[in-house]
Amino acid sequence: MRQSQLFTKTTKELPKDETSFNARILIKAGFADKLMAGVYSFLPLGWRVIDKIENIIRGEMNNVGGQEILMPSLQPKEIWKDTDIGPEDEKGWGRMREVMYQLKDKLGRDVGFGATHEEVAIELAKKYTHSYKDLPYAFYQFQTKFRQELRPKSGLIRGREFIMKDMYSFHKDAGELDDYYFKVGEAYKKVFDRTGCKSLMVEASGGSFTKNFSHEFQAISESGEDRIAHCDKCDFAQNIEIYKKDEIKKCPKCGGEIVVSKSIETGNIFRFYDKYTKAMGLYFTDEKGEKKPVHLASYGIGVTRLMGAIVEVHHDERGIIWPEEVAPFKAHLIELSGKNNASVRDAAGKLYNDLKKSGIEILYDDRDAGAGEKFADADLIGCPYRVVVSEKTLKENSVEVKKRNQEGAVFIGLEGVVDKLK
RNA sequence: CGGGGAUUGGCCUAGCGGUUUAGGGCGCCUGCUUUGGGAGCAGGAGACCGUGAGUUCAAAUCUCACAUCCCCGACCA
């Protein structure tokens, strides 16, 4: 993409109404824009990152047999009544009443915007699940979720509207569910490794479910809202409440030191077993002709939150340092042509076309801007590679290639650039 | 929802009762110049100083209410 065509621009100043690093830098660099507290637009650069993250998740979910669908955001109140966990006289908007956006439409019907989709998923499953032969299966979606947070905070980390990948799996019994649950847990680890946001699988506690039912994935970061106790050598980790109760000093897995760190919750997985399926009447007939409740587990990854978390983990004082698999572009091509140097401009333009033809995603800074501005923007936007074409490099028939996460640059021949970046 | 802070051209801000015709920087427009770390010169456009009520001869400036944003806390299947 030619940077001169990009409708967004970077700014020199940080926005005054954000203090979290991820929001400040993503807005400054033109990846996102805030419309209201906890509600952001994703601009061309940011949307490319979201797309990369989604594709990584999509691949791993497909690997464990997930089938991609899309459920509605707009939901009728009725589907929430049977899974309510509150007192009888408050039954209505159900277990999510505190955080759901709820309204009446023009016909006076109660509708809400989905904060999670277990209820919709079960309604859907009821139409297709009748026999043990129909089980197991899992489906997932990428969707905008709405949650009426009293206080959105930390930029993309806690918003009122955000993109989530949520998957729901349906099983004939608890044992089969458990096996699949941990298989998805492994898939989640791969997702977080690949996005460059390594997250520890932590037993969760608190909330409406006990620790036996759910796990969180936590990425260690100073800007996190959560705290976890974890081994400094292996991947053992505990929720802070459980850690305080157990008072362990050494890692039970490898004997390493236990340290407490702040962390960002990047994902969570829940085993509901037959709790909600029974309540909503999702049953199947087993081999013996007996009616049994379907067992349900659900699995969430906050996609936009993950983008924020990646920025929190991968940056320096000059800007973002995108991990390669989620970078908006693999390389940022900079021409330092001056006004009258057509040969630099031609060489850079040709290189841009060659790289594009080779399938390398490239952001080409063809703007009529000063060298300092171009370098500053390249560091800010944070593509993994920076390629500079200038009078200086052309004298040697070469270009300069520098990795964003390393000091020092190498000069390579014009012909070798495509191979170098492949 | 409790507590604290903030709100001034597109962005970052100065001004904190009268000398303000609201100043500067960035960005934007014109022209020239410049091109290896957010350049320079000259000219130009752009503001009901968050909203509403007060106080005062006089309000961006003081008072009250409200709204919005940020932070701490509570909350967060």
Structure tokens at A201: 């699988």
Question: Residue type at A254?
Answer: C
Rounded, the Å distance between the CA of A304 and C1' of B4 is 29
Handedness of CA A50, A52, A53, A58 (dihedral sign): positive
| Confidence check: pLDDT of A117 > 60 | yes
pLDDT of residue A238: 87
| Confidence check: pLDDT of A30 > 60 | yes
What CATH number does the domain containing A265 carry?
A: 3.30.930.10
Contact A155, A23 (CB under 8 A): yes
Say how far apart CA A95 and CA A15 lie, in whole Å: 37
Q: Give the SS3 label for residue A126.
A: helix
Whether residues A293 and A167 share a domain: the answer is: yes
Q: Which of A106-115, A245-254, A258-267, A360-369 has the lowest mean pLDDT?
A: A245-254
| Confidence check: pLDDT of A297 > 60 | yes
Enter the ipTM.
0.95
Residue A380: nearest nucleotide (C-alpha to C1'): B38
Query: Minimal CA–CA distance to A315: which of A1, A25, A9, A15?
Result: A25
Rounded, the Å distance between the CA of A222 and C1' of B23 is 40
Whether residues A414 and A363 share a domain: the answer is: yes
Mean pLDDT in residue range A320-349:
93
**Helix, strand, coil tally for chain A in percent (to 5):** 35, 30, 35
Rounded, the Å distance between the CA of A240 and C1' of B43 is 64
Q: Tell me the CA distances in angstroms from A38 to A149, A151, A219, A306, one per residue in order.
A: 8, 8, 21, 15
Q: Is residue A106 part of a domain?
A: no
Say how far apart CA A114 and CA A79 lie, in whole Å: 11
Domain interval for residue A333: 329-421
Whether residues A216 and A305 share a domain: the answer is: yes
Rounded, the Å distance between the CA of A21 and C1' of B26 is 21
Mean pLDDT in residue range A358-383:
96
pLDDT of residue A314: 97
When divided into structural domains, chain A yields a total of 2
| Residue A336 CB in 7 A reach of strand B | yes
Structure tokens at A410: 């190498």
Q: What percent of chain A has pLDDT over 90?
A: 87
The b/e string for A103-117 (b: 16+ C-beta within 10 A; e otherwise) is: eeeeeeeeebbbbbb
pLDDT of residue A93: 84
Residue A338: nearest nucleotide (C-alpha to C1'): B35
Greater model confidence, A339 or A408: A408
Query: Minimal CA–CA distance to A181: which of A92, A279, A299, A281?
Result: A299
| Confidence check: pLDDT of A337 > 90 | no
pLDDT of residue A46: 98
Rounded, the Å distance between the CA of A45 and C1' of B52 is 41
Q: How far is CA A219 from the centre of its chain?
A: 12
Rounded, the Å distance between the CA of A383 and C1' of B10 is 27
Whether residues A44 and A193 share a domain: the answer is: yes
What CATH number does the domain containing A387 carry?
A: 3.40.50.800
A 110-169, residues with C-beta < 7 Å of strand B: 115-116, 147, 149-155, 158, 166
Q: Is residue A92 part of a domain?
A: no
**Residue A243 confidence class, pLDDT cut points 50, 70, 90:** confident
pLDDT of residue A84: 80
Q: Give the SS3 label for residue A313.
A: helix
Whether residues A166 and A291 share a domain: the answer is: yes
Residue A23: nearest nucleotide (C-alpha to C1'): B70
Rounded, the Å distance between the CA of A366 and C1' of B46 is 28
pLDDT in tens, A180-234: 999 999 999 999 999 999 999 998 865 444 456 899 999 999 999 999 999 999 9
Average predicted confidence (pLDDT) for chain A: 93
Quickly count: other Cβ atoms within 10 Å of residue A331's Cβ. Answer: 24
pLDDT in tens, A372-399: 999 999 999 999 999 999 999 999 999 9
**Residue A86 confidence class, pLDDT cut points 50, 70, 90:** low
| Confidence check: pLDDT of A414 > 70 | yes
pLDDT of residue A261: 93
The terminus-to-terminus CA distance of chain A in angstroms comes to 17
Structure tokens at A265: 């919750």
Mean pLDDT in residue range A113-128:
97
pLDDT of residue A240: 85
**Nearest protein residue to nucleotide B36, judged by CA and C1' positions:** A371
Say how far apart CA A422 and CA A410 lie, in whole Å: 16
Whether residues A302 and A378 share a domain: the answer is: no
| Residue A98 CB in 7 A reach of strand B | yes
In sequence order, the β-bridge partners of residue A200 are A218
Quickly count: other Cβ atoms within 10 Å of residue A162's Cβ. Answer: 24
| Residue A318 CB in 7 A reach of strand B | yes
A 231-290, residues with C-beta < 7 Å of strand B: 268, 270
Structure tokens at A185: 């847990």
Report, in angstroms and rounded to the nearest whole number, the Rg of chain A calculated over CA atoms.
Answer: 25
Q: Is residue A80 part of a domain?
A: no
| Residue A403 CB in 7 A reach of strand B | no
